[in-house]
Amino acid sequence: MNGVLLLSLQALVYFAVMAALLRARFAYGVGLFVCALGVMHFLETYLAAVFFIELPFGLLSPGSTVLFSGKMMMFLLLYIREDAETVRQPIYGLMIGNLLLVALALILRQHETLAPLPGYQADLRFIDQIGVLMIWGTLLLFVDIIALILVFERLMRLFRRQAFPALLVSSALVLTFDQLAFFPVLHWVTGIPFTALGGGWAAKMAAAALYSVFIAIYLRYVEPTERPAFARRRIWDVFDALTYRTRYEDLLARAAIDPLTGAATRSAFEDLRRKRLERSRIDPWPVSLAMVDVDHFKQANDRFGHEAGDEILAAVGRALIGAVRAGDRVFRYGGEEFVVVAERLDSEDAAALGERLRAAVADAFVGTPDRRVTISVGVATSTPGVGDLMATLRKADARLYEAKRAGRDTVIAGA
């Protein structure tokens, strides 16, 4: 009974820390989560090779039962909340790292003499064993994750988008396959007795149930935003997503940039609004919006011609992009209108940003006195943790028109 409680505690601590790192990805990036997975990979393989406990239902290793099962389930959670492209990167990284470990171990073997140390001698044979198990385990992990994604998505449709039964059944099936595929290699490399096959399987089924409960709670209370409905997908489609998604995302990124001004497009702004709405519960900080309009642009366009008008817009776009902070984004909202989105910026600093934008555009046309261009700016700041930014955008737009009525080349700001 004590062994079961310790295994359950280990699973709870593992999941709590990894889930916290996953949740923190919006503030700090997904690198924290991925690095933690990588660090645990060696411990997981080491324990699976040498650390076993005896329970009433058989022999088992916490490395395989708690850590590997937990890692696989965390990859599934990462997929649910991100995408297949994000999942494949740490898997490839683990594979390359394992191959590097084996290669370096082979080079170490070329040393003819080792310095004697009191009470200890380097065991390169053990490193060889661990290397084989890590490489085989990572290959299996790649197959496991592909299978887990496919089965989970199909079961989500079968269970009418109820996460817990889909998590439980998909993880139980894939962990059963993994146990049958990993144990023969483990037995061959380390001589672990066959009693660990049944005991390890039973423990992995218990781990599947426990982690399914944890993830279901996470999806319900920590990141409850729904993903789009799961589409029917064939196995080669999943491989395609894992292998070529980056190129598709790069194409979308290029398509989201206005070629004339260098600012992001309005569709990119709408996408940011949607993501902000999904993240509002875990990104509780204010967002400031600045609506920018080029003063008297129609007259300048009529006077100097459309080509000159394009040059003005291009110069305004460059000036705005050069005036914002790192991390702020500039969007061409339509015609001669731009929107600047500045996260974690209070109303006082947002007013200063508006003045900086106005001055930057004025300075950009100092060398062309016959074509002096100014902008009017309306600035508004949301309350911390607000979801939809449309109310803030409407307030900024209303202040933009106040600035125009005030004589243009003016910034009107406020909370």
Active site residue ranges:
336
What would you measure as the largest C-alpha separation in the chain, in angstroms? 90
- Closest by CA position to 76, among listed 144, 20, 24, 137: 144
Rg for the chain (alpha carbons), in Å?
28
CA angle 21, 72, 79 (to 5 degrees): 65
Element spanning 71, H or E: helix 69-81
Cβ distance 340 to 320 under 8 Å?
A: yes
How far, in Å, CA of 229 to CA of 314, rounded?
A: 40
Neighbours of 31 (CB within 10 A): 11
Question: Please, what's the b/e burial string for 274-310 (b: 16 or more CB within 10 A of its CB; e: otherwise)?
Answer: eebebebeebeebbbbbbbbbbebeebbeeeeeeebe
Lookup result for tokens 């324990």:
47
One-letter amino acid at 279 equals R
- Closest by CA position to 131, among listed 42, 15, 34, 11: 42
DSSP, collapsed to helix, strand or coil, labels residue 340 as strand
How far, in Å, CA of 110 to CA of 71, rounded?
A: 35
